[in-house]
Structure 1
Amino acid sequence: MNGTPTAVNDVMTRRVVALRTGAGFKDIVKTMREWQVSALPVLDGTGVVVGIVSEADLLSRQEYGGDDIGGYGQSAHLAGVRDLHKADAVTAGELMTAPAVTVRAGAPLAHAARIMARTGVKRLPVVGRDGTLKGIVSRCDLLKVFLRDDADIAEEVRREIVVRLFGPHADAIRVEVHDGVVTLSGQVREPILIMPAARLARAVPGVVDVQCALTGPPGPPDPEAGFPDAARARTA
């Protein structure tokens, strides 16, 4: 598919900064500032991702780490047990949210997007089969697929969908793509294949939408067409 990204490892960032569980609070803050990120994966001694430290985790210490002078913040007794625990945390292992929400390097882009939508996170550590860190994928990374060239999309739709579904009759079908929107038009001999064709086209990487104007073969002619007297006699 001419290098079109289809899996997480096609779009992920491979150069990643991570923390060990023993990293100190100030070092975590410095690292976030230096790399301009809002969350960092935490690794154990074997390189396996065991958690994530985010700015929200660090702020738990700021929020509940001291007396609420003047009553400007939430009282400590209203905080959850987890947040109160983090108020005294000083290392990545104590501060991190665990287990980490991760995605496999070979997972489809749609799978990573569903995880992000379900969990509300902006980026995911990418791991191998053994759980070791391979990269980071962000929401922005997942959108790269929509930069795919229209001609490349059209070629894949024709080759992988139209030709496979309609075989020797594929030449009767037109495939046009404009700004990622696929238009299928023409007449097909098997109308039952129209909906599968549209559904499969929508799943092609980079497709924004599908406009399906495929039609089936014309129906048999009406034997009474052109004979108004016969119609009148039948209704008389």
Structure 2
Amino acid sequence: MKAIDLMTPRVITIGPEETIAEAARKMLANNISGMPVVDAAGKVVGIISEGDLLRRVELGTERHRSWWLGLVSGGTVPAEDFIKSHARRVADVMTSHVVTVDENATPDEVVRVMETRRIKRVPVVSRGALVGIVSRANLLRALASVSPETPAAALDDRVLKERVAAAVKELSWDSRSHDAIVVRNGAVQLWGFVSSESQRDALRVAAEGVPGVKAVENNIQVVDPAESGAWGL
């Protein structure tokens, strides 16, 4: 799966010379919270979102900075605030440092961009031209559409125990993190000690992910190693 498979190909865009009012109308009419700003050649030059339109003089919501901040910033911050709240063109209020992904980017690359940049959507380009956009909703739709795996054939409990043991061993934070694994008719019981709830849950998730496991009973206890003689108990 690639970005081109995840993206929404029909992208609502706006030009940099269009007005703030038109940007607001487009977002409302299409029920979107942001859109790419595209020039005449189809190149993405910015992104404009609801957040860019919150501090507006028309609404009486323009930002009022303290006088000392203007001094220490050399007047830069107040000037930027003034432009954001008073400008009429999209080009003046949009976020111009745009991050895009290529159409062949993997889902992992797309998510990494979203996480590192703390953004909700990322434009998809092909040879520099906009071809779509991937949002968090697109990723959720892809997740929801993944077909469930074909149920695994019933395994002998002994074989299943070996596979569960191999799976949880990869997460072992201590030799006693899983003292015993019991498997009866496909149902797994985990026993042992770990130092945190997240470790306990991770071992359960690892066991649940083994094909053929019907249920997991997590009896692993959370114990502070410092209070238990480093697992000596």
Partner of 2:100: 102
Q: How big is the shift at 1:16?
A: 0.9
Aligned residues: 160
Instruction: Report if the CA contact (8 A) 1:11-1:142 is conserved.
Output: yes
Partner of 1:124: 122
> Aligned partners of 2:131, 2:8: CA distance in 1, in Å?
9
> Aligned partners of 1:135, 1:18: CA distance in 2, in Å?
10
Instruction: Report if the CA contact (8 A) 2:57-2:86 is conserved.
Output: no
User: Does 1:83 pair with 2:99?
Assistant: no
> Aligned partners of 1:122, 1:93: CA distance in 2, in Å?
21
Q: Which of 74, 86, 93 is residue 64 of structure 2 equivalent to? A: 74
Q: How big is the shift at 1:92?
A: 1.3
* Greater Rg by CA: 1
RMSD: 3.4
TM-score after normalising by structure 2: 0.57
Aligned residue type for 2:26: T
User: Does 1:9 pair with 2:7?
Assistant: no
Partner of 1:145: 142
> Aligned partners of 1:75, 1:213: CA distance in 2, in Å?
57
SS at match of 1:99: coil
Q: How big is the shift at 1:39?
A: 0.8
Q: C-alpha offsets along residues 111-167 of structure 1, whole Å, 9 cap, x if unaligned?
A: 111111111111111111x22111111112112333312226x89xxxxxxxxxxxx
Gaps spanning 5+ residues in structure 2: where? 71-76, 171-204, 212-233
Instruction: Report if the CA contact (8 A) 2:54-2:61 is conserved.
Output: no
Gaps spanning 5+ residues in structure 1: where? 1-5, 156-173, 175-183, 196-208, 215-236
Partner of 1:52: 47
CA gap of 1:37–1:185, structure 2 versus 1, over 3 A, is: same
Partner of 1:61: 56
Partner of 1:35: 30
Instruction: Report if the CA contact (8 A) 1:21-1:92 is conserved.
Output: yes
CA gap of 1:119–1:88, structure 2 versus 1, over 3 A, is: same
Aligned residue type for 1:26: A
CA gap of 1:115–1:67, structure 2 versus 1, over 3 A, is: closer
> Aligned partners of 1:14, 1:133: CA distance in 2, in Å?
9
Aligned residue type for 1:105: E
Q: Which of 10, 20, 24 is residue 25 of structure 1 equivalent to? A: 20
Q: C-alpha offsets along residues 182-222 of structure 1, whole Å, 9 cap, x if unaligned?
A: xx95769xx9xx96xxxxxxxxxxxxx654779xxxxxxxx
TM-score after normalising by structure 1: 0.57
Instruction: Report if the CA contact (8 A) 1:7-1:105 is conserved.
Output: yes
